[in-house]
């Protein structure tokens, strides 16, 4: 079998492989429940995208990076933003996990944030800096030298969060998320989040398991973020099957440049019958 047949077979397998499915819970809380007189309005995907692609988001990240422990990776991210802004000025449009998270964090003002794949706390710090009181719950295996960068673990992440002014509670659960996340929810049946980031295990099955485990815990009106859908095409397939095709969500994907990021806004407790289904 030649290489192109193998690639075709692989793509077919990615489309049809059995994936774990979320088991949704009745009466999911709404983000609005935390707002006085329920004045909260769920942003639509265009609003979320406009914020994620804004110059404000990029400028926020450039400044935030200055407050984090330096690394080559962060320096590269910052240099990319600066060069792009210098070249394209106010017309620059770019999104990644961190700008999408800035958008969600400023639009939703979360009180509870959950992240699978915390690593050095870069994305958690976006939430911690924009919403200093937000409770942060993270899951990670702390794989050593992940992507060639030291992955020092919970103590390091706590000090990064403190460094950006976060004051809310921080709970960091160590272990394989396939087991640690269901174990956590078994002990915390009432735990729901306003924003969830899934950025841990990057295998199709691992990411699908993480999504299946956390999707039922996203509040209605909340935002889910999923990273690397360009860098890992199999992850894009997982996203489409578990989230994009589910009418509980409206979604936005940025795939023009960088690693690619996907966002979903949960619009319903149960599947919605909307114009796409009629």
Ligand X SMILES: C[S@@+](CC[C@H](N)C(=O)[O-])C[C@H]1O[C@@H](n2cnc3c(N)ncnc32)[C@H](O)[C@@H]1O
Q: Quick check: 166 binds ligand X (CB under 6 A)? A: no
The residue within the footprint of ligand X, chosen from 143, 183, 191, 273 (CB under 6 A), is: 143
Helix (H, G, I), strand (E, B) or coil at 1: coil
Contact assessment for residue 249 and residue 28, using Cβ atoms and an 8 Å cutoff: no
Nearer to ligand X, 59 or 143 (CB): 143
Closest distance to ligand X from the beta carbon of 12 (Å): 26
Closest distance to ligand X from the beta carbon of 228 (Å): 7
The residue within the footprint of ligand X, chosen from 112, 140, 194, 246 (CB under 6 A), is: 140
**CA distances (Å), 250 to each of 29, 43, 208, 247, in order?**
18, 11, 18, 7
Closest distance to ligand X from the beta carbon of 121 (Å): 7
DSSP sequence for 129-181: HH-TT-EEEEEE---TTGGGS----HHHHHHHHHHTT--S-EEEEES-HHHHH
Q: Strands 261-266, 249-254: parallel, antiparallel or unpaired by DSSP?
A: antiparallel
Contact track, ligand X, 191-230, x by CB under 6 A: --------xxx----x------------------------
Instruction: Please provide residue 242's backbone torsions phi and psi, each rounded to the nearest 5 degrees.
Output: -90, -25
DSSP sequence for 190-232: T--EEEEEE-S--SHHHHHHHHHHHGGGEEEEEEEEEE-TTT-
| Contact set for ligand X, span 174-193 (CB under 6 A) | 176-178
Q: What angle do CA 90, 96, 100 make, to 5 degrees?
A: 85
Contact assessment for residue 158 and residue 171, using Cβ atoms and an 8 Å cutoff: no
- Tokens in use for 66? 């200055």
Nearer to ligand X, 55 or 176 (CB): 176
Closest distance to ligand X from the beta carbon of 41 (Å): 28
The residue whose two tokens read 């009432």 is 190
The residue within the footprint of ligand X, chosen from 24, 146, 156, 185 (CB under 6 A), is: 146
Helix (H, G, I), strand (E, B) or coil at 274: coil
Nearer to ligand X, 163 or 268 (CB): 163
The residue within the footprint of ligand X, chosen from 139, 192, 249, 252 (CB under 6 A), is: 139
Number of residues that bind ligand X (CB under 6 A): 21
Contact track, ligand X, 86-125, x by CB under 6 A: -----------x-------------------xxxx-xx--
Nearer to ligand X, 112 or 115 (CB): 115
**CA distances (Å), 202 to each of 45, 59, 156, in order?**
25, 28, 23
The residue within the footprint of ligand X, chosen from 57, 141, 170, 215 (CB under 6 A), is: 141
Closest distance to ligand X from the beta carbon of 143 (Å): 4
Closest distance to ligand X from the beta carbon of 274 (Å): 31
Nearer to ligand X, 235 or 250 (CB): 235
Q: Which residues bind ligand X (CB under 6 A)?
A: 97, 117-120, 122-123, 139-143, 146, 151, 176-178, 199-201, 206
């Amino acid at each position: 079998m030649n290489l192109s047949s193998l690639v075709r077979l692989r793509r077919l397998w990615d489309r049809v492989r059995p994936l774990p499915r979320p088991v949704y819970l009745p009466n999911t809380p709404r983000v609005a429940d935390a707002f006085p007189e329920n004045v909260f309005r769920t942003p639509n995907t265009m609003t979320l995208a406009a914020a994620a692609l804004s110059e404000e988001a990029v400028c926020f990240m450039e400044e935030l990076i200055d407050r984090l422990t330096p690394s080559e990776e962060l320096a590269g991210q910052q240099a990319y933003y600066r060069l792009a802004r210098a070249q394209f000025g106010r017309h620059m449009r770019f999104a990644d996990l961190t700008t999408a998270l800035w958008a969600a964090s400023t639009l939703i003002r979360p009180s509870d944030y959950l992240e699978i794949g915390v690593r050095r706390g870069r994305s958690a710090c976006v939430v911690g800096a924009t919403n200093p009181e937000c409770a942060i719950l993270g899951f990670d295996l702390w794989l050593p030298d992940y992507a060639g960068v030291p992955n020092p673990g919970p103590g390091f992440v706590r000090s990064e969060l403190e460094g950006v002014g976060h004051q809310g509670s921080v709970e960091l659960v160590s272990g394989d998320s396939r087991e640690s996340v269901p174990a956590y929810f078994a002990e915390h049946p009432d735990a729901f989040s306003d924003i969830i980031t899934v950025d841990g295990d990057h295998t199709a099955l691992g990411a699908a398991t993480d999504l299946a485990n956390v999707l039922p815990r996203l509040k209605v009106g909340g935002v889910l973020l999923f990273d690397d859908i360009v860098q890992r095409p199999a992850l894009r397939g997982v996203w489409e099957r578990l989230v994009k095709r589910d009418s509980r969500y409206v979604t936005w994907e940025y795939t023009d440049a960088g690693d690619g990021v996907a966002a979903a806004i949960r619009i319903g407790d149960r599947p919605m019958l909307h114009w796409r289904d009629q």
